[in-house]
Amino acid sequence: MTVAYRRILLKLSGEALMGDDDYGISRDMLARIVAEIAEIRALGVEVGVVIGGGNIFRGVAGGAAGMDRATADYMGMLATVMNALALGDAMRQAGVAARVQSALSIEPVVEFYIRGKSIRYLEEGKVVIFAAGTGNPFFTTDTAAALRGREIEAEVVLKATKVDGVYSADPMKDKSATRYDRISFDEAISRDLKVMDATALALCRDQQLPIKVFSIFKPGALKRVVLGEDEGTLVHI
C-alpha cells in the first residue's frame, strides 16, 4: 500500500480528546485516536504529534478570566503536557512505541525537547509527542505545529479538527458554505479562513510546508489522508 507522506506532523487539538464531554479526556476517543495513529505507523509513516490543551484548560477557564496573558499561556502549556502524557500512556498500553518531549523543562516528568533526539526517535519508528507548545507565551500550538513540523523535516502538517476541511464560511452557521479541495496559503490568509492562526500560516507558507485539514472525528480519515485519498483540504503554496 503506497502512502503519500513518509513523515508527518499531526496537530491534535485538545478538544479532539474530549469526544462528547464538556472538558477532560474521553478514554474512548483517546483509544480511537491511538488506534488510527498505530494504523498509519504500520504503513511505515513516521509520526510526530503536537497536542493542544483546550480540553483541560477549559475546566479552569473561568478562573483565568482577567489573568495576565503570559501566566494563562503557561497554564495552557501545562495542560498540553497533561494531554501528551495521557496520549503517550495510551500508546504504551496499545503497544505503540512513543516518546513525549516538552518545550518546558520539567524533566522529572517528561523529556526536554531536543531536535536531534526527536528525529532519531522518528527514524527508529517511535511516535514523538511534542508538549508545551513552543515553550513561549503568546504563541499557539498551531504555531508550535508549524515550527516542529519544519524542524523534524515533516512533509506535511495534518491539522485534525472537528470539521472535515476548510470551508468558504462557517459550515455550522452557513449551510451554503462549500468545502475547498485545495487552496493556496495566500488565499486562505486573504480570506481569513481560520485554517490556523496567522503566524502559523505564514511560517508554513514561508517554509513551503503544506497543511492538510481534516476531521479526526471521521473514522479512518487519518489513514485516507496519508494514502493521498480525497479527504479534507490541502493548503499549499
**Domains of the chain, each with CATH number or no CATH:** 7-236 (3.40.1160.10)
Judge whether 115 is annotated as a binding position. Answer: no
Residue 148, pLDDT > 80, answer: yes
- Residue 61's Cβ-count burial label (10 Å; 0-12, 13-18, 19+) is middle
First-to-last alpha carbon distance for the chain, in angstroms, is: 27
The reply to whether 126 sits in an annotated binding site is: no
pTM: 0.94
Supply the DSSP symbol for 229.
-
170 in a labelled binding site: yes
Q: pLDDT value at position 82?
A: 95
pLDDT at 62: 58
Residue 59 assigned to a binding site: no
13 is in an annotated binding site: yes
199 annotated as a binding-site residue: no
For residues 196, 175, 222 and 200, what is the CA-based torsion angle, rounded to 10 degrees?
Answer: 0
**Three-state DSSP class for 33?**
helix
The answer to the question of whether 138 is labelled as a binding residue is yes
Task: Compute the distance between CA of residue 160 and CA of residue 216 in angstroms, rounded to an integer.
Answer: 5
121 is in an annotated binding site: no
Predicted pLDDT at 64: 63
The reply to whether 137 sits in an annotated binding site is yes
Annotated ligand binding at 134? The verdict is: yes
Helix, strand, coil % in the chain, rounded to nearest 5: 40, 20, 40
pLDDT of residue 102: 98
The string of pLDDT tens digits covering residues 161-220 is: 988 999 988 888 888 899 999 999 999 999 988 889 999 999 999 999 999 999 999 999
Residue pLDDT, tens place only, 31-66: 999 999 999 999 999 999 999 998 887 656 555 667
Longest dimension (CA), the chain: 52
Q: Which three cell numbers stand for residue 222?
A: 487519518
Is there a contact between 73 and 17 (Cβ–Cβ < 8 Å)? no
133 is in an annotated binding site: no
215 labeled binding residue: no
